Structures are given as C-alpha cells and as structure tokens.
Amino acid sequence: MSELENIAKKMLAKGKGILAADESTGTMTKRLSSVNVESTSENRLKFREILFSAESMKENIGGVILYDETIKQKTSSGKSIPELIKSFGSIPGIKVDTGAKKLAGSPEEKITEGLDGLRERLEEYYKLGARFTKWRAVYNISQKHPSELAIKSNAHALARYASLVQESKMVPIVEPEVLMDGDHNIKKCYEITSKVLKECYKELKLHNVNLKGTILKPNMILPGNQSKSKSNASEIAKMTIKCLKENVPSEVPGIAFLSGGQTEIEATQNLNEINKINDTNFVMSFSYGRALQQSALKNWGKNITDINNTQKIFNHRSKMNGLSASAKWSMDLEKQLTA
Ligand code: 13P
C-alpha cells in the first residue's frame, strides 16, 4: 500500500473520524462572539488546545484539520500544535484554500481560490507536520443554481488542488459542499449533489489524481433547511448511500461527511443510519466542525478556565460520533453516557 493510502486509512480507522478545527479567523471570531469570548489569537489557541488535548483524541479522532494560524502556534507547554496532535496518534492536517469568492460570470455563486503559490505553501505545511489537506468548494441550490459554470470551475480547481497535494506527499480531502440553505426537497439535493460529484471525479481523473490516496468530504443528502417536507434518518441514509454509490469511484477509500448546519444529534444519528445500511466498500465517517464543537464551545464561553467540563463534553460528542461511524450509536447510549 502506498504511503498516501496508509495515511487515508489511518485517518478513518475503525471508530475514528476527523475534527474540523480549521475555521478561518473571521469564522472563529463569529463562533467566539456567539459565546461572548473575545477573538484574540490567544483565546483561539486556548479553546483549540483544550480540544486537541482531550482524552477522546486517542480513540475517536484520526485527524485534525488546522488553520494556517494554528499550525504555527505552540501549546502552553512549548510543544507545537502538530506535535500535540501526533502525541495522541492522530494526524495533523491543514486547510489550504483561501476561501470562496464571487464567481466572475455568475456573481451570485462562489469559486474557491488558493491555487496561486500553493505548491510552495504545501512544502511549508509538510515541514510543519501536516500529512493531509482540505479544500472546500460550495454550491448553492436555487431555481437557477448551481450553474454549469460553478460546477465545472469548482471541480477543475478541486482537481488542480488534489493533484498538487499528492505531488507534495499529502492526502487531499476533496470537499464539494452542496449547502443546505433553501426550501428545496431531498430529491433536489440528491440531483444536484450527483451532478457535482460526477463533475469532480471527471476532473480528478483527468488530472491523474490517485483516488486511493484521497478522502471525499461530502454533504449528506438532506432537504433544504427551509423545506416544508421533512425527511427521517432512514430516508436520508438511503438517499445518501444511493448518491455516493452512483457517483463516487470505488477506489476512493473513505468518505467523511461534513455536518453543514445539522444539530449535533442529527449529524450523529444520520451517520449511524448510513452505517447501518452501508453496503459499499467505502468507510463512512465524520469530519465535523460545528457538530463536534458546539456544546463544548458553549460551556467554555461560560467559564474559559473550565477545561475539565469542556473536555468532557467534547469527549462525549467524539465518542458518540465514533460509535455512529461503526453503526453502534443509539439514543439510549446518548442519554446514559451523558448522565
Ligand atoms: P461543519 O461540520 O461545521 O459543516 O464543518 C465542516 C467543515 O470543515 C466545513 O468546511
């Protein structure tokens, strides 16, 4: 097995998933101000260090996606953040896109930027300890969108990114996120996600990306958050598996979903249902940001010296998602273990 395949497998080993802690400074400032904490570089590090030193890092977190600021920071004991993550047997990774910008030619849509100078930045991140990377493309669903232009240009950028990352001996996480904003039904999400994934894999193949050394980070197939029609976890799981089976080549070893605005429990329950009926060869796990951090952040905002309880809450969420990655989660366990 190649080194890239090894890394991808290790990140999504049994009962493990990925912690997405790569919020840009702007996004992290919003998250911190929602719990009345000032967004200083010191506070951003403090919260993240609490998560990265929690017990569940060993059992349930196979990789951590960092932001440029964090990968260069040192912990209170002088270790670098990547060293801290590695000390738990987890793998440090880095977000390398520079954000979604207005798409010229279709200005209501977004194109993700960050290809200029990427080869040189990748070299630096590798030296800092990163062994995988992330690039996120976003697509909005509306009557007219996403346009063919948005689908094609984002797929092209994702493929150029992935190819450069493998050249730098790291595993690219390919993240085409169809947003859940809107009043569309689950069928529409399925149709659009299918189109988006098809185009992404067409481009990844054209760019000679070794799919065995990649991880896909997709949205689950969900109705829009303003939709009148609701779907239960079983329908979501069936549609999600159908979409991935039809559009993702079988060489891809692992799929790590984003949470995308689902509540913590929804994200856990839906992943559990997906794994209950997973009849593919893909490992299906999580790469959650909000669905792993929300409750921990809320607690921390009440008292930023309360490391113990903040870690307990984070450990619980990581453990619940670890169980759902093996189809072993239940609402009963959720309650028993919280009590
Ligand atoms: P959420 O799980 O909060 O959607 O974040 C995942 C992520 O990394 C988005 O790029």
Q: What is the pLDDT of residues 14-53, one digit of tens each?
A: 999 999 999 999 999 999 999 999 999 999 999 999 999 9
> In this structure, what are the phi and psi dihedrals at residue 93, rounded to the nearest 5 degrees?
-135, 175
DSSP state of 212: G
N-term to C-term CA, the chain: 43
Q: Token pair for residue 205? A: 């193949």
d(CA 337, CA 142): 41
Query: What is the 291 CA–ligand 1 centroid distance (Å)?
Result: 8
Q: Report whether residue 189 contacts ligand 1, using a CB cutoff of 6 Å.
A: no
Which atom of ligand 1 has the smallest separation from the CA of 258? Answer: 2
d(CA 176, CA 196): 7
Q: What is the pLDDT of residues 169-188, one digit of tens each?
A: 999 999 999 999 999 999 99
Q: Report whether residue 258 contacts ligand 1, using a CB cutoff of 6 Å.
A: yes
Q: Report whether residue 259 contacts ligand 1, using a CB cutoff of 6 Å.
A: yes
Q: Token pair for residue 104? A: 């010229």
Query: What is the 338 CA–ligand 1 centroid distance (Å)?
Result: 24
Query: Residue 310 pLDDT > 80, yes or no?
Result: yes
Q: Token pair for residue 249? A: 């080549």
Q: Token pair for residue 81? A: 């953040």
d(CA 177, CA 218): 6
What DSSP line would sit under 229-270, residue for residue? S---HHHHHHHHHHHHHHHS-TT--EEEE--TT--HHHHHHH
Q: How many of the other CB atoms lie within 10 Å of CB of 314?
A: 27
| β-strand pairing of 100-102 with 110-112 | antiparallel
Query: Residue 100 pLDDT > 90, yes or no?
Result: yes
pTM of whole model > 0.95? yes
Q: What is the pLDDT of residues 188-240, one digit of tens each?
A: 999 999 999 999 999 999 999 999 999 999 999 999 999 999 999 999 999 99
Query: Residue 127 pLDDT > 70, yes or no?
Result: yes
Which positions are catalytic?
175, 217
Give me the pLDDT at residue 226, please: 97
Mean local confidence (pLDDT), 267-285 = 98
Which atom of ligand 1 has the smallest separation from the CA of 291? Answer: 2
Report which of 257, 328, 265, 326 is spatially closest to residue 286, judged by C-alpha positions.
257
Give me the pLDDT at residue 336, please: 81
Q: Report whether residue 291 contacts ligand 1, using a CB cutoff of 6 Å.
A: yes
Query: Residue 1 pLDDT > 80, yes or no?
Result: no
Report which of 22, 84, 79 is spatially closest to residue 53, judged by C-alpha positions.
84
Query: What is the 259 CA–ligand 1 centroid distance (Å)?
Result: 6
76 falls in which pLDDT band (50, 70, 90)? confident
Query: What is the 292 CA–ligand 1 centroid distance (Å)?
Result: 10
Query: Residue 93 pLDDT > 90, yes or no?
Result: yes
Assign domain 3-338 to its CATH superfamily: Aldolase class I (3.20.20.70)
The ranges assigned to domains in the chain are 3-338
Question: For the CA atoms of 13, 18, 19, 21, what is the dihedral angle to 10 degrees?
Answer: 140
Report which of 84, 78, 80 is spatially closest to residue 58, judged by C-alpha positions.
84
Q: Report whether residue 257 contacts ligand 1, using a CB cutoff of 6 Å.
A: no
Provide, rounded to the nearest whole percent, the portion of the chain with pLDDT above 90: 98
Query: Residue 327 pLDDT > 80, yes or no?
Result: yes
307: CB partners within 8 A, 6+ apart: 50
Give me the pLDDT at residue 339, please: 53
Across 177-208, b (16+ Cβ under 10 Å) vs e yields bbbbebebbbebbbebbbbbbebbbebbeebe
119, 168 in Cβ contact below 8 A?
yes
315: CB partners within 8 A, 6+ apart: 54, 55, 56
Instruction: From 34, 181, 271, 290, give the residue whose CB has the most ligand 1 atoms within 8 Å, as the site to mutate.
Output: 290
